[in-house]
Amino acid sequence: MTLKILVPIDVEEPRSWSAVLPELRQHAKGNKVELSVVTVVPDLGTVIAQAAQAAPLASALPADLKERALAVARDRLENLVQTDEFGTIQKVARSGTIYCEILHTAEELSSDLIVLMSHLPDFGDYLLGPNAAKIVRHARCSVLVVRPK
């Protein structure tokens, strides 16, 4: 049996994936695993609109900001995630609403399981918290929420 697992990570925050690998090993026992990771650049249109209201200079942001941010995310994802005991890992970088893009990626890849870190009270990480709750509620596959030790 092949188990398709999706791991959402924030390339800027190691705590978003640090405890995931041991859990993956435990759930992968006896199964062939196809592992995919996804990172999502938050919807920059909203960020830019809010910044423009706060500071008129925000309108001077480059027109290709979204594409550049996505390219940086792809590069960081490529550097962070290497082939390991799970074999080749598919890497996906998207831009948009975080939980929507993670759910869309899970559907697109026919994932059997989404594995993500839980929210810590001191986390400033945009990937977790309300996004994790929405992923748990709306995913069409199983979701494993990993608690930090």
Provide the CATH number for the domain formed by 2-146 in this structure: 3.40.50.620
Task: Please tell me the pTM assigned to this model.
Answer: 0.81
pLDDT at 127: 47
Ordered mean pLDDT values, 10 residues apiece, the chain (149 residues): 89 80 77 90 66 56 78 89 76 93 97 84 53 90 86
Q: What is the DSSP string of 82-130?
A: --BTTBS-EEEEEEE-HHHHHHHHHHHTT-SEEEEEPP-TT---TTSTH
pLDDT at 59: 56
pLDDT at 125: 46
The ranges assigned to domains in the chain are 2-146
pLDDT at 24: 81
